[in-house]
Structure 1
Amino acid sequence: MSDYVNTGVEAWKPNFYISADNKNITDKIRKGLINITLTDYGGSSKQTDELRVAIVSETLKIPARGVKISIGLGFGNQIIDKGIYIVDGASSGGEPRVVDFTAKAAPMNAAKGSPTVQSKKTRSWSDVTVSDIVATIASDNGLKPRVSKRFADNVITQLDQVGESDMHLMSRLATRFDAVSKPAGGYWIFLPRGAGESVSGAPLQHYTLTRRDNSSWGYSRNGQSGDSGSGGENPEPTYLIKYHDTATGQIKELRTR
């Protein structure tokens, strides 16, 4: 991503990169950008992650359904690849002329006759590993499998898919292992939920935050928190802190006591 970064952007300013069918359109989008919204529904949801972009432009072509969008988000020169999304809807209006399009993290409108993650299927697996199942689902949807070592060799004695979409099936399987399973960035991932590790099993970095590291923070407590004078021991309050991770471009949350 670094080859496409506008190095004139200050380190604290949001920045992005975007391409359409491998053609860099960052500068065209930047000039009239209204907003970029990337929604991560999480692996337990039946919905796929969604990208939405709105631009003011008199000349930008409305992207056709099926166009492959690659996007990176971050701050300054630190832009993180957020994966590949397939355009599934677009609109335009004015004045001034605004182009608005949405794209999904998996092909929701594949070529005629091709399966999609929401297509209903009926089939069964017997005595196969989690890795085998993810590989099949990924291949069926034009993706590559990425499975955590923690789950890869777990044997599934029987798994039935009866009138069920791949998205729903993998959501069920992920729930069984307390995992996250979804299409993202050209892959179908199957990773531990909240384990703080990468696909290879390597631990992710941890950070210690103070008030000085946050642009804003807040604390709230309701009347049932245990300190209203009703007697008994008062439980420690829990603090929720939201912050921008400049390394990933994401808004993250921390809970502490």
Structure 2
Amino acid sequence: MKPATHPQVDYGITVDGRDITRKIDPRLISLTLSECRGGEADQLDLVLNDADGMLALPPKGALITLKLGWVGQALVDKGSFTVDEIEHSGSPDQLHIRARSADMVDTLKQRAEKSWHGQTLGDIVGEIAGKHGLSPRVDNRLAKVEVDHVDQTHESDLNFVSRLAKRYDAVATVKKGHLVFLPINGTRSSKGELLASASISRADGDQHRFHTADREAYSGVRAYWHDPKKAKRRGVLVGLSGNAKRLRDTYGSEADALAAAKAEWQRIQRGAATLELTLALGRPELIPQTPVRVSGFKPAINAITWLTVKTAHTVSDGGLTTRIELETADSKSDDGKVEDVQADDAAPEASE
């Protein structure tokens, strides 16, 4: 009987178009790619052995591309990254290179001021995308949502569009020249393709951590808006009133307040259970937003449909491992109801 063979990690790295994979392979101490759902740029960390002092420091702004996988299989394209931090330490001498997703346009981080009135999410995201030379990709349903009023006050476009995404329980990110705005619980990718779900068995991993919080800690969410017809502050409630979380902001319309309350209620429900997994055999195809089903755990854990929040793929002496953070994908909200604000509701305590 032939001895079992273990999969061998494989990767490809270029710097400014030059393939340096074989050059750095004998020097590689670790490679870690951290991917987030939205707002934050994906981050690539390379730690290289420079005991002989022969490594040149890469220039800031250098463009790194990464492909990751296993020998004998097609490598997964993990994107492009711009070098923005370099550290040399010793002894023993090591070079640490940190690069962040090249998709993040620097101008997105510049502060701006603007008020938006009666425009759809599609219009707003489209205008911001065009301003930075990006193409918008907005979910069809979200694109039609009308925003009564929202202010951008001394705030970067990146922060503003991320805040807008949070209000509508969406994810906003930049991918390959597109400003993407999609619902968190959506079933399609930024290209409009159906997201393939992943199956993970307990046998695939070394470690896991399941945590459940009291879903009943909050019974619902209240948000507030100013009703110009009645010249008074009013509220909307999603869920039940018993121990409802109250949002701090006062919104410009009933529709805006209701959208914010629904989004927060869905976030609360998704956070009711979390699962962290470290996979001994890395799965580089796993990315944030991937739906996941698990098996081999407790029945209550296996029964949950999970949604990927963060991934970290690491190459080291131990091969290729993947760490993923999951939250429950099951979140829903009712249509909500309008309330007149009572005296004890005058001071909402929670931020959006």
Are 2:187 and 1:196 equivalent residues in the alignment? yes
Q: 1:248 aligns with which of 258, 267, 285?
A: 285
Q: Deviations over 1:177-228 (max 9, x none)?
A: 211112344433222214332124432223444444x143557789x9xxxx
Name the amino acid aligned to 1:14: V
Q: Deviations over 1:2-23 (max 9, x none)?
A: xxxxxxxx88333322222222
How much has 1:32 moved relative to structure 2? Answer: 0.8
Give the total of aligned pairs: 226
Query: Distance in 1 between the 2:154 and 2:161 partners?
Result: 14
Shift in CA distance, 161/240, structure 1 to aligned 2, threshold 3 Å: closer
TM-score, length-normalised on structure 1?
0.70
Shift in CA distance, 95/54, structure 1 to aligned 2, threshold 3 Å: same
3-state DSSP of counterpart to 1:29: helix
Q: 2:113 aligns with which of 119, 122, 125?
A: 122
Query: Distance in 1 between the 2:173 and 2:23 partners?
Result: 31
| 1:25-44 aligned within 5 A | 25-43=20-38
Q: 1:81 aligns with which of 74, 77, 80?
A: 77
- What is the percentage of aligned positions where both structures have the same residue? 30
Shift in CA distance, 184/125, structure 1 to aligned 2, threshold 3 Å: same
The answer to whether the Cα contact below 8 Å between 1:129 and 1:152 also exists between their aligned partners in 2 is: yes
The answer to whether the Cα contact below 8 Å between 1:240 and 1:256 also exists between their aligned partners in 2 is: no
3-state DSSP of counterpart to 2:206: coil
Query: Distance in 2 between the 1:116 and 1:30 partners?
Result: 35
| 1:167-186 aligned within 5 A | 167-186=158-177
3-state DSSP of counterpart to 2:56: coil
Name the amino acid aligned to 2:36: Y
The runs of 5 or more residues in structure 2 that have no matched partner are 215-272, 295-300, 304-352
Name the amino acid aligned to 1:55: L
Match of 1:145 in 2: 136
Query: Distance in 2 between the 1:221 and 1:173 partners?
Result: 29
3-state DSSP of counterpart to 2:108: coil
The runs of 5 or more residues in structure 1 that have no matched partner are 1-9, 225-237
Name the amino acid aligned to 1:173: L
Query: Distance in 2 between the 1:78 and 1:190 partners?
Result: 29
Query: Distance in 1 between the 2:37 and 2:198 partners?
Result: 22
| 1:9-158 aligned within 5 A | 12-43=7-38, 45=39, 47-57=40-50, 58-76=53-71, 77-106=73-102, 116-158=107-149
How much has 1:142 moved relative to structure 2? Answer: 4.9
Name the amino acid aligned to 1:31: P
Name the amino acid aligned to 1:216: D
3-state DSSP of counterpart to 1:64: coil
Q: Deviations over 1:143-170 (max 9, x none)?
A: 4433333323434343321100122101
Shift in CA distance, 35/131, structure 1 to aligned 2, threshold 3 Å: farther
The answer to whether the Cα contact below 8 Å between 1:13 and 1:75 also exists between their aligned partners in 2 is: yes
How much has 1:138 moved relative to structure 2? Answer: 3.4
The answer to whether the Cα contact below 8 Å between 1:11 and 1:75 also exists between their aligned partners in 2 is: no
Name the amino acid aligned to 2:7: W
3-state DSSP of counterpart to 1:137: helix
How much has 1:119 moved relative to structure 2? Answer: 2.0
Query: Distance in 2 between the 1:49 and 1:210 partners?
Result: 26
3-state DSSP of counterpart to 2:125: helix
Match of 2:319 in 1: none
How much has 1:34 moved relative to structure 2? Answer: 1.4
The answer to whether the Cα contact below 8 Å between 2:189 and 2:195 also exists between their aligned partners in 1 is: yes
Q: Which moved more, 1:244-253 or 1:69-78?
A: 244-253
Question: Higher strand share goes to which structure?
Answer: 2
Query: Distance in 2 between the 1:199 and 1:107 partners?
Result: 14
The answer to whether the Cα contact below 8 Å between 1:78 and 1:246 also exists between their aligned partners in 2 is: no
